[in-house]
Structure 1
């Protein structure tokens, strides 16, 4: 009989005799919160005042560091070409920005740990939501949070935090000055981005050459469905100290060929292509990334940075993405030797559309 009961128990079907007592485990109890431990700043008013001073001092130090980063940009101009100025520019701007953000972070953490309310709260979950009482409770929560954090009460901390956050963007705004060269007697257009991007090395008769080899391209060598990365022939003669990268950044072109009947050209651009060969600026009109991906079946160009797409068969019009205008087209033809040449420069500025245009 005992063997039968053991077998039934292992099968999960064992039922104890009515006279046997079975121990039932107690349900799991929710653990209580530990006793609240007051911080030094809660016990000592002097410690609280020291903590407040520490926080707003850190925020004001952040302001000073942000201003220093902007001053360092002016004191050590990278335009001078002096290697020591370039090193000091990077070093002191980096130190200023880094310390500004670090001081904000440390100040915010010290504020939350030493000054904000340190009481523990526990509240049950509620299955309902959206009632007027719930909305009123949310408003009350924000009101309590403002009171506990001291954000509305401690004006010195609040104002110093605002000042630090506002000052932290000053170095970034200052650095925008370096996005375009400054005008000078030698280069008066350098301070005007629109004028700077309105002129490239392309001019009438300039041969289209392979990037980066500089080898001229014959029209007969461009097959249907192919795409070439192109630079002007004159670019090969420039050294890196003579603005090679700057000129190349403006003049880079993509050359493609399709069946002539597939191209929908505007009347005033009928002579801008040659036997189905078209050339468009490689600089995306969104933020200036290189448009480098060509899909020969759809005749679409894709910018890999933000996914703008341009339809080459329809004047490189934007068909998807954040770009605001079509890619500028380079008018081309062939010379007496069959090499592809430019008919002129671009008829509009290349590059991003956020530059002011007329």
Structure 2
């Protein structure tokens, strides 16, 4: 192999092109430079520039009007009424207002940069950035140049309309927070108290557990081993949406499961909260309130599909994985004289997400 390598090296060193053979020599790629500058209509025609300026600040003020309309729609179509038409109009018109407000800001900003700001090309050589005085002065000068080129300091109408549009675009979002904490009234004295609202549900002593949503009472004997049933209070099925059906269901919804009695690891104070291996837990996740609806029969784990919190049904629905901060509240149950499952009482702790006032 060494002799063959030496022969190849000697052949390469002694090779010369024959007299009739043309050898192509390529030149390095030349810098194409910047294309010729093409002036915009707004650079050549002052009237076109004025029209562009009017267009931009009109779009910004349109954004302000759309934000105000979103707030007005929130009040004109109160979602608290419970009527389907009001809920639809509330979502539709608030969404249109917020969407138009943000769209107008975006279109106005793009039109500003394309038609009004400086259109000259610049070449900026790279240089080392250091914390010297000269560097800081150059940075300040860069901001001055940007202000001059964009016209931000000179075109006060555009600047002020942009500020107004940006400020107004926040107002609809802030307004929507109003619905998260309704004010109390003589008819609803605890409307603004989350501790009270989440500490009390429809469940009362002797109230039958019923299938969701039809409201059919559930017999203990009808539950098979390993089953999981979605449950509501029996009287809930008789409520209409106008009477607060959704609000009450959101708090009182329960998941009912049947295990072997010996599989349950119950504490002494909860020994009578189950019936013959049947347990009932709030379906509302203690993380952010999503519905816990996935039951793994073999491991006896409940899973919240939103953020993957997992609860062990055999040990008081304690958290075994995920961001939930506490176990699911348990509904104490027993049976009546006819064999139907009934509640012993309401939940003994607030249902739903953990929050700092709950204690």
TM-score w.r.t. length of structure 1? 0.78
Match of 1:170 in 2: 171
Say if 1:310 and 1:326, in contact at 8 Å, map to a contact too: yes
Say if 2:310 and 2:322, in contact at 8 Å, map to a contact too: yes
Q: Any unmatched runs of 5+ in structure 2?
A: 1-15
Within the alignment, does 1:265 sit opposite 2:269 as a pair?
Answer: no
Q: Which sits farther off after the overlay, 43-52 or 31-40? A: 43-52
Q: Following TM superposition, by how much is the alpha carbon of 1:70 offset from its aligned partner in structure 2, in angstroms?
A: 0.8
Whole-Å separation in 2 of the counterparts to 1:253 and 1:317: 16
Q: Any unmatched runs of 5+ in structure 1?
A: 1-14
Match of 1:214 in 2: 215
Say if 2:71 and 2:172, in contact at 8 Å, map to a contact too: yes
Whole-Å separation in 2 of the counterparts to 1:318 and 1:54: 57
Q: Following TM superposition, by how much is the alpha carbon of 1:272 offset from its aligned partner in structure 2, in angstroms?
A: 1.9
Whole-Å separation in 2 of the counterparts to 1:166 and 1:334: 59
Match of 1:254 in 2: 255
Q: Classify 1:94/1:20 alpha carbon distance in 2 versus 1 (closer, same or farther; 3 Å).
A: closer
Whole-Å separation in 2 of the counterparts to 1:308 and 1:117: 54
Kindly report which structure 2 residues correspond to 1:176-215, keeping only aligned pairs within 5 A, or say none: 176-179=177-180, 183-215=184-216
Q: State how many pairs are aligned.
A: 341
Match of 2:233 in 1: 232
Whole-Å separation in 2 of the counterparts to 1:84 and 1:154: 45
Whole-Å separation in 1 of the counterparts to 2:318 and 2:345: 21
Whole-Å separation in 1 of the counterparts to 2:59 and 2:319: 49
TM-score w.r.t. length of structure 2? 0.77
Q: Following TM superposition, by how much is the alpha carbon of 1:183 offset from its aligned partner in structure 2, in angstroms?
A: 4.2
Q: Which sits farther off after the overlay, 310-319 or 225-234? A: 310-319
Whole-Å separation in 1 of the counterparts to 2:253 and 2:342: 14
Deviation >6 Å, runs of 4+: 81-84, 136-142
Q: Which sits farther off after the overlay, 193-202 or 341-350? A: 193-202
Q: 3-state DSSP class of the match of 1:169? A: helix
Deviation readout 1:142-190 (Å, 9 max, x if unpaired): 8566665455776654554343223213212223333566644443333
Q: CA RMSD in A?
A: 3.7
Deviation readout 1:52-75 (Å, 9 max, x if unpaired): 454344223312321222123223
Match of 2:70 in 1: 69
Q: 3-state DSSP class of the match of 1:319? A: strand
Q: Classify 1:265/1:163 alpha carbon distance in 2 versus 1 (closer, same or farther; 3 Å).
A: farther
Q: Classify 1:221/1:271 alpha carbon distance in 2 versus 1 (closer, same or farther; 3 Å).
A: same
Match of 2:7 in 1: none
Whole-Å separation in 1 of the counterparts to 2:69 and 2:106: 18
